[in-house]
Chains A and B, each alone.
Chain A
Amino acid sequence: MKERTNTSRAGTLSARFFVACFLLVLSACGAREPSLSYVDGAVVAEGWSGQMPKEGWPGVLVVRAGEDASTPAMLGDYESSGGKLIFKPRFPLQPGVQLHASFTPRPGAEPLTASFGEPAKALVATTRVTHIYPTTDEWPANTLKMYVEFSAPMARGEAYTHVRILDDKGKVVEGPFVEIDPELWDHEGKRVTLLFDPGRIKRGLVDNETSGPPLMPGRTITIEIDPSWRDATGAPLVEKLSRTIRATDALRRPVDVKRWSVAPPNAPSDPLVVTFDRPLDHALASRAISVVKNGSPVAGEISLEKNESELRFTPSESWKPGAYTIRVDGVIEDLAGNRPGKLFDVDTSDATQSTSATPVSELTFTVR
Chain B
Amino acid sequence: MKTSIKLLTATAIVGAIAAIGLTATAAPGDTAKLQSAGALAFAPNGVLLIGDSAGAQVFAVETGDTAKGGSGKVEIADLTGKIAAMLGTTADQVAVNDVAVNPISGSVYLSVSRGLGADAKPVVLKADRAGAISEVKIDTLKRTSVSLSDAPAPDAKDPRGQMMRTDAITDLGFVNGQVLVAGLSNEEFSSSMRSIPYPFTAATKGASIEMYHGAHGRFETASPVRTFMTYTIDGKPNVLAAYTCTPIIRIPVEQFKPGAKIKATTITELGNRNRPLDMIGYKKGGKDYILMANSARGLMKVDAANIDKYAAIESRIADKAGMPYETFAEYANNVTQLDKIDDASAVILVADAEKKSSLKTIALP
State how many angstroms separate the Cβ of B208 from the closest Cβ of chain A.
14
Q: Is B27 an interface residue (CB 8 A)?
A: no
Q: Is A175 an interface residue (CB 8 A)?
A: yes
**Residue among A96, A185, A191 with the most chain B CB within 10 A?**
A185
Known A156-B120, A211-B272, A287-B156: A90·B88 in contact at CB below 8 Å: yes
Among residues 83 to 132 in chain A, which have CB atoms less than 8 Å away from a CB atom of chain B? 89-94, 96-97, 99
Complex CA gap A346/B164 in Å reads 28
Among residues 153 to 170 in chain B, which have CB atoms less than 8 Å away from a CB atom of chain A? 155-158, 161-166, 168-170
Closest B residue by C-beta to A203: B219
Complex CA gap A155/B90 in Å reads 14
Q: Cβ of A91 and Cβ of B89 under 8 Å apart?
A: yes
Complex CA gap A302/B155 in Å reads 14
Q: Cβ of A185 and Cβ of B118 under 8 Å apart?
A: yes
Among residues 175 to 192 in chain A, which have CB atoms less than 8 Å away from a CB atom of chain B? 175, 178-189, 191-192
Q: Cβ of A206 and Cβ of B272 under 8 Å apart?
A: yes
Q: Cβ of A97 and Cβ of B82 under 8 Å apart?
A: no
Complex CA gap A233/B115 in Å reads 9
State how many angstroms separate the Cβ of A40 from the closest Cβ of chain B.
14
State how many angstroms separate the Cβ of A145 from the closest Cβ of chain B.
7
**Residue among B89, B92, B184, B226 with the most chain A CB within 10 A?**
B89
Q: Is A290 an interface residue (CB 8 A)?
A: yes
- Chain B residues within an 8 Å CB radius of A296: 155
State how many angstroms separate the Cβ of B337 from the closest Cβ of chain A.
10
State how many angstroms separate the Cβ of A233 from the closest Cβ of chain B.
8
- Chain B residues within an 8 Å CB radius of A203: 215-216, 219
Q: Is A284 an interface residue (CB 8 A)?
A: yes
Q: Cβ of B214 and Cβ of A348 under 8 Å apart?
A: yes
State how many angstroms separate the Cβ of B71 from the closest Cβ of chain A.
22
State how many angstroms separate the Cβ of B361 from the closest Cβ of chain A.
19
Complex CA gap A181/B246 in Å reads 14
Q: Cβ of B273 and Cβ of A155 under 8 Å apart?
A: no
A-B pairs with the 7 shortest C-beta distances?
A232-B117, A204-B215, A189-B118, A287-B161, A155-B116, A199-B245, A184-B186
Chain B residues within CB distance 8 Å of chain A: 19, 36, 38, 53-54, 82, 84-90, 92-93, 95, 97, 113-121, 123, 133, 135, 155-158, 161-166, 168-170, 184-190, 213-216, 218-221, 223, 226, 244-247, 269, 271-273, 275, 277, 295, 316-320
A–B complex contacts, Cβ < 8 Å, 23 sampled: A64-B85, A90-B88, A91-B87, A91-B114, A156-B117, A181-B170, A184-B166, A186-B186, A188-B118, A198-B245, A199-B246, A204-B215, A205-B215, A230-B116, A283-B164, A283-B165, A283-B186, A284-B188, A287-B165, A302-B158, A348-B220, A349-B218, A355-B220
Q: A206-B320, A209-B316, A346-B219 are in contact. List 6 more A-B contacts (CB 8 A).
A: A183-B168, A185-B186, A186-B186, A283-B186, A286-B161, A290-B157
